[in-house]
Amino acid sequence: MDDRARILIIDDERFYIDVLVGLLRTKYQTFVAKSGKEGLELALNNHLPDLILLDVLMPDMDGYEVCRLLKADKRTRNIPVIFLTVKSEVDDEIRGLEMGAVDYIIKPISPPIVLARVATHLALAKAHCSLQEQNDLLEQRVEERTAELARTQDATIYLMASLAETRDNETGQHIHRTQHYVKTLADALRAAPGYREYLDDAYIDLLFKSAPMHDIGKVGVPDHILLKPGPLQGEEWEEMKRHAIYGKIAIERVEDDLGIYDFLETAKEIAYTHHERWDGKGYPEGLREDRIPVSGRLMAVADVYDALISRRVYKPAFSHQKAVEIMRSERGQHFDPQVLDAFLERESDFRAIAVRFQDEYLVETGKDHTEGA
């Protein structure tokens, strides 16, 4: 097998063809085309040349047009082209270089110049090819590493969220339902005034990833309160409300160890503010209206809807329609009016999500969250 570089010579003058072939054939494989059309056919065959020596002045198709067509085809666009020409005007050289040629050799040719420039541009092309291969390999490794980090991030989120869920064994698929509710609301509001500057694809993805951690702070609530089979009283309720603070603190500790990542910042915001109310009567800070972060406003609607349609130790599950009625009555009080309107617009999607991610006890009974008690 001949491993020498392949040089394609495209020229309509026999004299220059003979000179170039005689000069190059000892070090390179040489191929000859006597017209632009023939040169294009040879260049596009299964054995692409490594470099092309191209005459500018040819009768059927000049070198500029041949070069243009070579550079327009992805198979040949990276092959170095050196123009051969009797012209030496600056404008002609600029035109050729702008079309993608790498160099000019003026006729009558000088053998040492031809050999030097051919060798130089073959070396540059080889280096460029090697660099491109390295870049492709690096990009592949970066993509693989990015995907691995994303999987690790998702696993971390679900591990932390599941830890909280195991403390409250009646929440079941709550974290899955609520993250899909939040995404549904965000999609509905992405073009709405006051929301479109926040809700782009990247932020909606952050919301979806972060939502499962909204109740992570429940790991700090004592069992006798978290699992109490009845309404909470006085100090018990005050301790339960502290789960929003515990969640914020827990995520801040992770940030201190790992650094601040967008998804952790969003998760912390959700964990801390999803129990704030539009009218300022929520907790832990009593924020009102636009002082509540967008993430907290969306999570509030998702969390309350799911609590209403789910069975708890202290209450039965409400039907979807009953939950919608209750939610509607809290427009402008518990909930941001725009977010509540988005919920009402997409209530059928909420119902479908609730059915898709049913708790096990409902699957066993053949019922679903939308039917209520």
CA–CA dist 128, 123 (Å, integer): 9
User: What is the architecture of the domain spanning 6-137?
Assistant: 3-Layer(aba) Sandwich (3.40)
CA–CA dist 351, 309 (Å, integer): 10
pLDDT tens for each residue of the chain, 373 residues long = 778 999 999 999 999 999 999 999 999 999 999 999 999 999 887 678 999 999 998 988 999 999 999 999 989 999 999 999 886 666 677 788 888 899 989 888 899 999 999 999 999 988 888 888 888 888 888 888 877 777 766 666 666 666 666 666 555 588 889 999 999 999 999 999 989 999 999 999 999 988 888 888 888 888 888 888 888 889 999 999 999 999 999 888 877 776 667 778 898 999 999 999 999 999 999 999 999 999 999 999 999 999 999 887 677 889 999 999 999 999 999 999 999 999 999 999 999 999 998 876 554 444 555 555 4
CB-based contact 286:340 (threshold 8 Å): no
**Cβ neighbourhood burial of 184 (10 Å; 0-12, 13-18, 19+):** buried
Q: What does the block give as tokens for 14?
A: 């026999």
For position 365, what pLDDT does the model report? 46
CA–CA dist 51, 203 (Å, integer): 48
For position 116, what pLDDT does the model report? 94
CB-based contact 344:324 (threshold 8 Å): yes
What is the CATH code of the structural domain delimited by 168-365?
1.10.3210.10
Which DSSP string do the residues of 258-277 spell out, in sequence order?
Answer: H---HHHHHHHHHHHHTT--
- For the chain, give every domain's residue range: 6-137, 168-365
Helices 262-273 and 201-210 cross at an angle (nearest 10°) of 60
Alpha carbon distances (Å) from 222 to 165, 167, 227, 239: 14, 9, 8, 9
Q: What does the block give as tokens for 171?
A: 């929440």
CA–CA dist 133, 122 (Å, integer): 16
Q: How far is CA 305 from the centre of its chain?
A: 30
For position 60, what pLDDT does the model report? 85
CA–CA dist 21, 7 (Å, integer): 9
CA–CA dist 282, 355 (Å, integer): 29
Helical ranges in the chain per DSSP H: 14-24, 36-43, 63-72, 90-98, 111-167, 174-189, 201-210, 223-226, 234-241, 243-258, 262-273, 294-309, 320-329, 337-345, 347-356, 360-365
Question: How crowded is residue 282: how many other Cβ atoms within 10 Å of its Cβ?
Answer: 21
Alpha carbon distances (Å) from 89 to 10, 86, 93, 180: 21, 9, 7, 67
